Chain A
Amino acid sequence: MQMQVKDATILSERDESSAPKRAASKQTTRIIVVTSGKGGVGKTTTSASFATGLAQAGHKTVVIDFDVGLRNLDLIMGCERRVVYDLVNVIQGEANVQQALIRDKHCENLYVLPASQTRDKDALSEEGVEKVLDALREMKFDYIVCDSPAGIERGAVMALTFADEAIIVTNPEVSSVRDSDRILGILQAKSRRAVDGRDPVKEHLLVTRYTPKRVEAGEMMSFKDVQDLLKIPMLGVIPESEIVLQASNQGIPAIHMAGTNVSEAYGDMVARFLGEERPLRFTAAEKAGFLQRLFGAKK
């Protein structure tokens, strides 16, 4: 009994001694926008899993829903019943950021800032968004993940304006690739970094809803085709999977669905984002034992 207590104190001391080091080595908050132009490609699914992955790696992370009027991140994160205040409340001074942040149920270090369901996009002023992001910087968040709405209007532009990095979520499909190219243009024209002439926003390509079998049959563009077209560095490929629906049904980010392709692919993508080198997986059609794996993974 005493031994256990002793161990616990030693552990906590170690934690404290390592914590300031980490804080010192990483002085700045990074803002990452998850965007695509087109709707339904997997932005919110990606935002939820990416933010969860960053938090699991020990980084203090907040994920913000910029889809004012059509909020959905709260449902995907499973915190819809705990929403009190939202982004617009904070912008309009009706609540402060701390009051509006919802602590994630599954993951320490992770917070959700929901969008307003009742207001419209005009409530998002550039000064207001900047004020919120500054307050989050002061709270020493390592990462701020901005879940962009579809389209190229105010909400989407506000989500990318202050970004340091951008994850372009693209399906291997004609309209999605064109819309991604369009949003890249907007990023390069309207982001603060572009306007101020600083280093440009770091762009990452994430190809989602990928079906290797159809790629091999020539029915779907390969991730290399998509990358050739968009000409930005590859961050990952997320396979099409039934698991995504099962996860959203329950309000659990897909990365939590342990042992599934989708969860592993999101894990790889987060690791690459954090600087680790990992080979792309789930990009070739599985031959022998395909059915076995498919059904094995489900249960």
Chain B
Amino acid sequence: MISILKSIFGTRAPTSASVAKDRLQLIIMQERSGQSNTPDFLPDLQRELLDVIVKYVKVDPSAIKVEMDRSDTVDSLLINIALPDVSANAVAPEAATV
């Protein structure tokens, strides 16, 4: 059926039904594989990352943001850590010594 449609419409944009099927295939596959749509390791990952980071830098626990984006071929995990405003802390002591 899809092939008939494809042959009729040639290289046109995919139908909304085929977009729906593609979206569902991806999401259902992820959910069935137990690797659920909300990866359960993320909270732990975030906690452990934070533990490591605070050893070296003073950061606010809420300043770490984990983002995920999935496409057909690539899953990307973006971890964003806002470092504290170093300039404010660093300038003050220097000013005191001058």
- If A96-B62, A246-B16 touch, whether A117 touches B23 (CB-CB below 8 Å) is no
Q: Is the CB of A75 within 8 A of B38?
A: no
Which residues of the partner chain B approach A82 to less than 8 Å between Cβ atoms? 67-70
Chain A stretch 90-119: residues in CB contact (< 8 A) with chain B: 94-96, 98-99, 116-118
A82-B69, A84-B38 given; name 16 further pairs at CB < 8 Å: A75-B27, A80-B37, A82-B68, A82-B70, A84-B42, A85-B38, A86-B38, A95-B43, A98-B65, A99-B62, A99-B66, A116-B38, A117-B37, A247-B16, A249-B17, A251-B23
Q: Is the CB of B20 within 8 A of A84?
A: no
Which residues of the partner chain A approach B31 to less than 8 Å between Cβ atoms? 117
A98 to B65, CA, bound (A): 8
Encoded as 1 (CB less than 8 Å from any B CB) or 0, chain A from 204 to 242 comes to 000000000000000000000000000000000000000
A251 to B70, CA, bound (A): 15
Which residues of the partner chain A approach B54 to less than 8 Å between Cβ atoms? none
Which residues of the partner chain B approach A75 to less than 8 Å between Cβ atoms? 23, 27
Top-9 shortest CB links A-B: A249-B20, A94-B43, A249-B16, A81-B70, A246-B16, A84-B68, A250-B19, A118-B36, A250-B16
Q: Which residue of B lies closest to A102 (CB)?
A: B67
Which residues of the partner chain B approach A248 to less than 8 Å between Cβ atoms? 20
A247 to B17, CA, bound (A): 10
B3 at the interface (CB under 8 A from A): no
A246 to B18, CA, bound (A): 11
Which residues of the partner chain A approach B42 to less than 8 Å between Cβ atoms? 84-85, 95
Q: Is the CB of A81 within 8 A of B38?
A: no
- Residues of B at the A interface (CB closer than 8 Å) are 16-17, 19-20, 23, 26-27, 31, 36-40, 42-43, 46, 62, 65-71
- The interface centre, meaning the residue of B40, B67, B69 with most chain A CB atoms within 10 A of its CB, is B67
A134 CB, min distance to chain B CBs, angstroms: 15
Q: Which residue of A lies closest to B70 (CB)?
A: A81
Which residues of the partner chain B approach A94 to less than 8 Å between Cβ atoms? 43
Q: Which residue of B lies closest to A118 (CB)?
A: B36
Q: Which residue of A lies closest to B66 (CB)?
A: A84
Which residues of the partner chain A approach B70 to less than 8 Å between Cβ atoms? 81-82
A247 to B16, CA, bound (A): 8
Which residues of the partner chain A approach B68 to less than 8 Å between Cβ atoms? 82-84
Residue contacts A-B, CB under 8 angstroms, 6 given: A81-B26, A84-B39, A85-B38, A98-B62, A118-B38, A249-B19
A118 to B26, CA, bound (A): 17
A8 to B7, CA, bound (A): 49
Which residues of the partner chain B approach A81 to less than 8 Å between Cβ atoms? 26-27, 69-71
